Amino acid sequence: MLKIFGTQNSRAVRPIWTAEEMSLHYELEMMPFPPRVFQKEYLETNMLGTVPYLVDGDIKMTESVAMCQYLVEKYGPTDLMINSNEPDYPNYLNWLHHADATLTFPQTVVLRYKIQEPGVADAAIEGYSRWFVSRLKLLETSLEGKDYLCADRFTIADICVSYAINLAKNLGIHQALKPNISRWTSNLFERKCFKKAISLKFEND
């Protein structure tokens, strides 16, 4: 049975959104954030204590973008993926890796010192916020005249990259909402499956 562990509005949005778009049957366990502090037994499941975490039989995964790629390739065919024989395949792969390596990475520093440890490193918040915004040049330029990042259709590249913009909004990095990015995300964030993915939260019985 496919199972995803997550916390509200974390990178778990990516695989949850993907699973919802594919109408997959899966089990979901939402936890308080950060689970390694507030649900210590989770460390017995995922020794890193990070979210999301995906389990599918003997398969165990800790990286949100890889989870999305796994879901579309394992449970496809689906238009959410781009096949290796399509012209935009290299672009698709680049955006998938760009989503975390270039965009979400600096945001994790902002998240830590703005939400988890406020007052400890305010200079880091400002510096990494600026760094993140400067890294949006490629995205803003690439979206000129386009509704989607690759192959003129909605794919997991849009899911994975747009999550970084959603996180930026939640962190108050409003400079991220450049004209093309704002237009693109306004469309994506109206999707029913995105709205469901961000609405899910831990319920303390």
Match domain 2-78+193-199 to its CATH number in 3.40.30.10, 1.25.40.10, 3.40.50.150, 3.10.180.10. 3.40.30.10
Tokens of 44: 């017995």
Domain 89-191 has CATH 1.20.1050.10: yes
Sign of the CA dihedral running 81, 85, 88, 92: positive
Contacts of 17-21 with CB under 8 Å at 24 or more apart are 17/159, 17/163, 17/193, 17/194, 17/197, 18/67, 18/68, 18/71, 18/72, 18/80, 18/156, 18/159, 19/71, 20/192, 20/193, 20/196, 20/197, 21/78, 21/80, 21/159, 21/191, 21/193
Q: Give dist(CA 28, CA 7) in Å, integer.
A: 10
User: What's the pLDDT at 118?
Assistant: 74
Give me the residues of the chain with pLDDT under 50, please.
Answer: none
Domain boundaries, the chain: 2-78+193-199, 89-191
Q: Give dist(CA 79, CA 60) in Å, integer.
A: 25
